[in-house]
Structure 1
Amino acid sequence: MTDSGDILMVIPARGGSKRLPRKNLLPLAGKPLICWTLEAALDAKLNARLMVTTDDEEIMDIARQYESRGVIAYKRPDELATDTASTIDVLLDAVQAVQAVGHTPETLVLLQPTSPLRKACDILSALRIYRENGCTDTVVTVCEVDHPTAWIGRVCEGSRLEGIDLSGKRSQDYPKEYRLNGAVCVVSVDHLLSHAKVFTDSLIASVMPRERSLDVDVGVDLVICEGLIGANQA
C-alpha cells in the first residue's frame, strides 16, 4: 500500500476504568490488552507516527518497549487524565504535541485499545476507503448487527415489552444493518482541528467481520476474545 500524506496513529489508553479496572493492562492470551492494538498498528507497516497517549506510568512502560519500532510513548497532561476528559480533547492534544516538535500530520487514525481482535488489514482497508473517497469524510469501521434492530424494544411499566416488530418476519427478510464497532476511525487533521470533532456530517463505512469487532468492556468480553484467539491459532 502506498502512503499519501503524513499519518498520525493514536492509541488513547487511560489507566483507569470503572467497569473493568485496569482494563488496558489486563492479560489477554499472554500479553496486556493494549499490546494487541500496538502490534496490529505496527503490522500495517505504514509510514506513520504511532502514539500511545496515556495518564498511566505502567502503560507508558509498555509503550516504551516498542520505541525501537517507532512508537511514541506520550504522557498526556494532568487535565486529560480524568474520567471526564473527552476523546476529542485527547486527540487534539496528541496532534498539537507532534506539531510542537515540527511534524504536520494530515490524517489521524484513531485506534481504541479495547478492540484487540482488529487486524492490520482492517486498518489498511479503512485508510484505503478514506483515500478513495477523497479524504474528506470520516471513515469508521462497522460490522453487521447480530439481529435486526426491529427486534429491539423497551421494557416498560409492568414488564410490558414495547417497540418490537411482531410481524413474524425472519431475520433474513430484513435489510442488512450495521453498527459502529470502534476499532478504527480515520479523519483529516484539518477537520479535527477546525471543528473539534472526529465525525464529519457524512460517514463512510469500512466493514469488518463480527468476529473481529468485539469491544472489551466487561470481564466476559476478555474470555470471549481469548476463545476466539485460541480458535484462530488452533
Structure 2
Amino acid sequence: MGDTGEILVVIPARGGSKRLPRKNVLPLAGKPLICWTIEAALEAKLKARIMVTSDDEEILAIAQQYQSQGVIAYKRPDELATDTASTADVLIDAVKVEQAAGHGPKTLVLLQPTSPLRNAEDILAALEIYRDGGCEDTVVTVCEVDHPTAWVGSVTSDSLLIGVSATSKRSHDYEKEYRLNGAVYIVNIAALLGDEKIFSSQTLASKMPRSRSLDVDDHLDYQICGALLADRHKQESLDA
C-alpha cells in the first residue's frame, strides 16, 4: 500500500456558468450548491488542507464561512477564470500557492462542486484505491452507464441514424460499461507538475452508484439533485 503524503483537496469553482447561471451559489436543499462539496471534504476527515479556488467574491465568501474548520478561500488569477483555462492549470496554480506558503503536498484530491451527491465515503473509497495502487496513477470515480454504448450513435441532417448496433440483444446481455462521473479525482502531484495533465498513463477507477453520480450542468440536473438531497435529509431525520 502506498503513502499519500500530505494531501491537498482542491475545489475549483468559477463564478460564470452559461447553461445554469451562478450555479455554484444557487440554493440547493437549504444551502448553496458548493457547500455540499465543502462539507463532504470535511466529513471525510482526511487531515488535509482544503482549498476553494475561485474568481468570484460570493463563492469565496461562502468558503470563508468554513475557515474555522481549515478551509482556505483562494482568489485565483484572472487568466485562470476564463473558458479557455484548463482544470490542470487551475490545479497547478493551487499547488504552487501551497508550496510558496511552505507546504509540500504529495497528493491532490480534486472535488468538483457540481457533484453535490458525492459523499465522504466516495472520497475515501477513491483514496483507498489510490493507496493500493502505489500512489502513482490517477484515480477517477466512475459509474455504470444507463444504456450500452452500442445503442449510441448520431443522426445525419436527413434523419438517418448511424453508428448504432443493429443486434437484438437486451441491455443486460451487454458487458457492464462505465463512464467518468466527475465527482472525485486523486492525482499524484509530482506527476501533475511534470506532465501538466490530470490523467496518468494507467488511470484507475473507483466505482460509485449512479444515484450519487449526477453532475449539475443544467436546470433539470439542479432540480433532480435538489429532490434527491431533500429526500436524503428526510431519511436521515427519520433514522436519527
Would you say same fold, with TM above 0.5? yes
- Corresponding residue number in structure 2 for 1:162: 162
What residue in structure 1 maps to residue 122 of structure 2? Answer: 122
What per-residue deviation string (whole Å, max 9, x for no partner) do you get for residues 173-220 of structure 1? 000000000000001000000110100011100000000000000011
Cα distance in 1 for residues equivalent to 2:138 and 2:66: 28
Compute the displacement of 1:232 (Å): 2.1
User: What residue is the counterpart of 2:237 in the other structure?
Assistant: none
Listed as ranges, the gaps of 5+ residues in structure 1 are none
Instruction: List aligned pairs for 1:42-81, cutoff 5 A.
Output: 42-81=42-81
Q: What SS does the aligned partner of 1:158 have? A: coil
> Counterpart of 1:129 in structure 2: which amino acid?
I
- List structure 1 segments (4+ residues) > 4 angstroms apart after TM superposition: none
Distance 1:162 1:4, change over 3 A: closer
Structure 2 residue identity aligned to 1:119: N
Q: Which residue of 2 aligns with 1:134?
A: 134
Distance of 2:173 and 2:167 partners within structure 1: 11
Output the CA distance in 1 between the equivalents of 2:157 and 2:52.
46
User: What does 1:1-234 align with in structure 2 at a 5 Å threshold?
Assistant: 4-234=4-234
Deviation at 1:76, TM superposition (A): 0.5
Secondary structure of 1:91's counterpart equals helix
CA-based RMSD of the aligned residues comes to 0.9
2:158 partner SS:
helix
- 1:65, 1:83 → 2: CA distance? 27
Counterpart code for 1:74:
Y
Q: Does the CA contact (< 8 Å) of 2:109 and 2:184 recur in 1?
A: yes
Q: Structure 2 stretches of 5 or more lacking a match?
A: 235-240
Counterpart Cα distance in 1 of 2:124 and 2:85: 29
Query: What fraction of aligned residue pairs are identical, expressed as a percent?
Result: 69
Q: Distance in 1 between matches of 2:228 and 2:78?
A: 37
1:233 Cα deviation from its structure 2 partner: 2.8
Asked if 1 retains the 8 angstrom alpha-carbon contact of 2:115 and 2:215, the reply is yes
